Amino acid sequence: MSADVEYEPVIGLEIHVQLKTRTKMFCGCELSFGDPPNIHVCPVCLGLPGSLPVVNARAIHLGLMIGMAVGSELAPRSIFHRKNYFYPDLPKGYQISQFDLPLCLGGKLGDVRIHRVHLEEDAAKLTHVGESGRIHGSDSSIVDYNRGGTPLAEIVTEPDVRSAEQAREWLNMLRVTLRQLGVSDVNMEEGSLRCDANISIRPVGDTELHTKTELKNMNSFRYIERGIHAEVARQIEIVRSGGKVQGETLHFDPRTERITSLRSKEEAHDYRYFPEPDLVPITISAEMLDAARAEVPELPTARAERYASTLGLSDDAAKLLADRAELAAYFESVLEVDSVEPVAAANWVTELAARLDEGDPAGSKVEPRALASLIGLLSSKAINVGAARQVLDRLVAEGGDPLAIVEAEGLGAIGGGDELADAVAAAIAANPDVAEKIRDGNMKAIGPIIGHVMKATKGRADGGEVTRLVRQQLGL
């Protein structure tokens, strides 16, 4: 391999999403995050002798919704398998998962194809006491089974991702989609969304898949991007120096940016999958499909597309609104008020959103009707942009009617009447040196005069009108 060969990364992603059901995948224990350890447990999720699993119908429902959202083929019949391995966070010594007959097959989100979506149960949460933070070398480990048995959807992509940046952007699209579907909290910090990446490289132009490594459990999108970068660089380095990439499972340490091996292919588990004999096959009825379909909302990519193509929003503005369901909903309720221009509405919903931090505008004091009215005042030039922002600040703080605020505060724009002409005259008189520069043709010097006028009119003057009057009064 010569140094001048260009390599491209070939990346597939495996995403685990905790489903937002009330109870666990195979028992009636409630889901919780942050509760005291080992209180949401029962014989089933503790794997006590004699206990048996029962499938959570709601988890199947949410799984079908995910499949519908990414355009999967939904299996009329699917079955659970046992994935056998020993670990203290796995109370039965096997995970109930799906193998060759998953709930959803195929599909696509954005430009990445989906291989499959299947359901399984989450493991318990292990905390390793001691220096290493890993099980080997720890003084002791403690297990919290509250998380054990939480329903998971595992979404596996085809190896269609070609860069770390694309991985991050696509994962964000997936997260936004799942959040709007309402199937998961998709919170990486709380572990309700976790991601592994399968990474290989190949010379640009090659269509074969080469030996891949699996980068495990990166817990933020930023780390995923950095982890993939680091791994791709490592693989290119290996190949350029004449070596061969070994199939292994890797860990990325975001503090040191180092990649370490968790286990090699030879050490890989033989999971001894076989059909779970404690469960009967899942058959998907027309009623189940109808119920799932009825709950799938318009999804962000489709919505952004509609905003851009039919409402004339820029792609960025359309995506910004569509990616947050609550902004999109608010935006659409503003549009429902008579004759609001969509681009202006989008701008002002964005303005409002910026003032609310992460909050939902529907829960704020600003009524959609009030925002529509504010936009109307601005477009009819009854107020200027500065005044409109002031009104919005007031609406956010206190609510109310924009027109009443404009009148009470005297924020109405000063048009072409004597009041503004007088203010301009006063400003010119107060800044003779500036007036001189303007007469000499330097219009850029006008700032202090406009500032003077704005101060005198409490910002109600229209900047364009002030400029016109200055030119007029200076005889230009």
Partner 1 sequence: MIELSAKQLADAIARGDVSAAEAFETYRARAAADELNAYTWVAPEGTTAAPMSADAPLRGVPLGVKDLFCTEGVPSQAGSRILEGYLPPYTASVVQRLAEAGAPLLAKTNQDEFAMGSSNENSAYGPTRNPWDRERIPGGSSGGSAAAVAAGSAPWALGTDTGGSIRQPAAMCGIVGLKPTYGSVSRYGMIAFASSLDQGGPLTRDVTDAALLYGQMIGQDPCDSTSLAHPETIALPTAERLDGIRIGVPRADLAADGIEPGVIAAFDATLQRAQELGAELVDIELPHAEHALAAYYVIAPAEASSNLSRFDGVRYGLRHGGDEGLMAMYTHTRHDGFGDEVKRRILIGTYALSSGYYDAYYGRAQQVRTKIADDFRAAFGRVDLIATPTAPTTAFKLGEKTADPLSMYLGDLFTIPYSLAGLPAISIPCGLSDGLPVGFQLGGPAFSENRILDAAHALEQAIGFEPLEIS
The residues binding partner 1 (CB under 8 A) are 43, 46-55, 82, 84, 86, 88, 91-94, 135, 141, 143, 270, 272-274, 277-280
Q: Are 71 and 27 in contact (CB under 8 A)?
A: no
Choose between 91 and 300: whose C-beta lies nearer to partner 1: 91
Least distance in angstroms from the C-beta of 136 to partner 1: 8
Choose between 80 and 331: whose C-beta lies nearer to partner 1: 80
Q: Sign of the C-alpha dihedral, residues 148, 149, 152, 154?
A: positive
Residue 328, both tokens: 């999109």
Least distance in angstroms from the C-beta of 291 to partner 1: 21
Exposure string over 163-200, b if 16+ CB within 10 A, otherwise e: ebebbbebbebbbbbbbbbebbbbebeebbbbbbbbbb
Choose between 96 and 215: whose C-beta lies nearer to partner 1: 96
Least distance in angstroms from the C-beta of 11 to partner 1: 26
Q: What is the DSSP string of 81-125?
A: EEEE---TT-TTSEEEE--SS-SEE--EETTEEEEEEEEEE---E
Q: Which residue has the tokens 């499938």?
A: 55
Please list, in sequence order, all residues whose beta carbon lies within 8 angstroms of the beta carbon of residue 174, skipping any fewer than 6 positions away.
15, 109, 155
Choose between 135 and 429: whose C-beta lies nearer to partner 1: 135
Least distance in angstroms from the C-beta of 367 to partner 1: 48
Choose between 268 and 476: whose C-beta lies nearer to partner 1: 268
Please list, in sequence order, all residues whose beta carbon lies within 8 angstroms of the beta carbon of residue 459, skipping any fewer than 6 positions away.
384, 386, 387, 390, 411
Choose between 22 and 258: whose C-beta lies nearer to partner 1: 22
Least distance in angstroms from the C-beta of 103 to partner 1: 17
Nearest to 391 by CA among 380, 420, 379, 377: 377
E strands along 265-410, which residues? 274-275, 282-283
DSSP class of residue 263 equals E
Please list, in sequence order, all residues whose beta carbon lies within 8 angstroms of the beta carbon of residue 284, skipping any fewer than 6 positions away.
60, 64, 74, 75, 76, 77, 78, 103
Least distance in angstroms from the C-beta of 21 to partner 1: 17
Choose between 92 and 116: whose C-beta lies nearer to partner 1: 92
Least distance in angstroms from the C-beta of 83 to partner 1: 10
Q: Are 406 and 391 in contact (CB under 8 A)?
A: yes
Distance CA 159, CA 155 (A): 13
Least distance in angstroms from the C-beta of 85 to partner 1: 8
Choose between 49 and 432: whose C-beta lies nearer to partner 1: 49
Strand partners, 144: 125
Q: Are 101 and 283 in contact (CB under 8 A)?
A: no
Least distance in angstroms from the C-beta of 264 to partner 1: 16
Least distance in angstroms from the C-beta of 292 to partner 1: 21
Distance of CA 63 to the CA centre of its chain: 19
Choose between 88 and 399: whose C-beta lies nearer to partner 1: 88
Choose between 279 and 382: whose C-beta lies nearer to partner 1: 279
Choose between 143 and 383: whose C-beta lies nearer to partner 1: 143
Nearest to 192 by CA among 34, 11, 13: 34
> How crowded is residue 374: how many other Cβ atoms within 10 Å of its Cβ?
28
> How crowded is residue 288: how many other Cβ atoms within 10 Å of its Cβ?
16
Distance CA 292, CA 65 (A): 5
Residue 49, both tokens: 């002798």
Least distance in angstroms from the C-beta of 68 to partner 1: 25
